[in-house]
A and B are shown apart, each in its own frame.
Chain A
Amino acid sequence: RKEVEQDPGPFNVPEGATVAFNCTYSNSASQSFFWYRQDCRKEPKLLMSVYSSGNEDGRFTAQLNRASQYISLLIRDSKLSDSATYLCVVRANTGGFKTIFGAGTRLFVKA
């Protein structure tokens, strides 16, 4: 089992739709969680950190469920510019620093 798993997609949604991605992790000692977006042939860019209480940034909402060991990203009112690959990142510091990237979920938003 991979340490961080994401549905690779692709998710094809129309503009204005709401779409949600989940990411599961296996290390119960994981401490920090992030969502990044990556455009084709570009570097990953931080979208948002994920806090225990959940957090929102405009159209984006991130949630953490420690009991079930997953994080989620909800995008409301999808825009064409949201088309990208979304990477979840899980970080732990047990027996050494460890940061694991998921392989990403591809999103296509269509007019």
Chain B
Amino acid sequence: NAGVTQTPKFQVLKTGQSMTLQCAQDMNHNSMYWYRQDPGMGLRLIYYSASEGTTDKGEVPNGYNVSRLNKREFSLRLESAAPSQTSVYFCASSLTLSDEQYFGPGTRLTVT
């Protein structure tokens, strides 16, 4: 039982490049989330998926897209990376939107 897994753990991109961050959970949770964490700002919600087949914008969705591929997997795509997207990205899941969230180990992304 791995919980929430994320790939890759580290990534360096040049401005304008694209990439997809992968997230999977094996806890049979309905809801999944993508956050970014920047120093002194706490975690900010980028997008979330209340259940399979639905996605909604969070607090900071600009520059990102998501896909809820199935109940287990929720990916985050940066179409044209910008230095402002340098951050640590965490994926999380919960049984429902009201329940506690469990986080993956994070992806440290640097955009130069």
Contacts and interface: CB of A to CB of B under 8 A. Distances in A.
Verify that A and B bind, or say they do not.
yes
B105 interface: yes
A4 B55 CA distance: 24
Interface string B68-112: 000000000000000000000010000001101111111000000
Contacts of B40: 8, 103
B36 to A, nearest CB: 11
Interface residues of A, number: 22
Contacts of B42: 4, 87, 101-104
A98 to B, nearest CB: 8
A87 B105 CA distance: 16
Contacts of B90: 43-44
B100 A97 contact: no
A93 interface: yes
* B interface residue count range (under 10 / 10 to 19 / 20 to 34 / 35 or more): 20 to 34
A101 B97 contact: no
B26 interface: no
A91 B73 CA distance: 23
B21 interface: no
A34 B100 contact: yes
B48 interface: yes
B41 interface: yes
Contact of A97 (B44, B56, B104): B56
A91 B44 CA distance: 13
B13 interface: no
Contact of A43 (B33, B97, B98, B105): B105
B104 A43 contact: yes
B100 A46 contact: yes
A93 B98 contact: yes
Given A43-B105, A43-B106, A93 B43 contact: no
B32 interface: no
Nearest to A32: B98
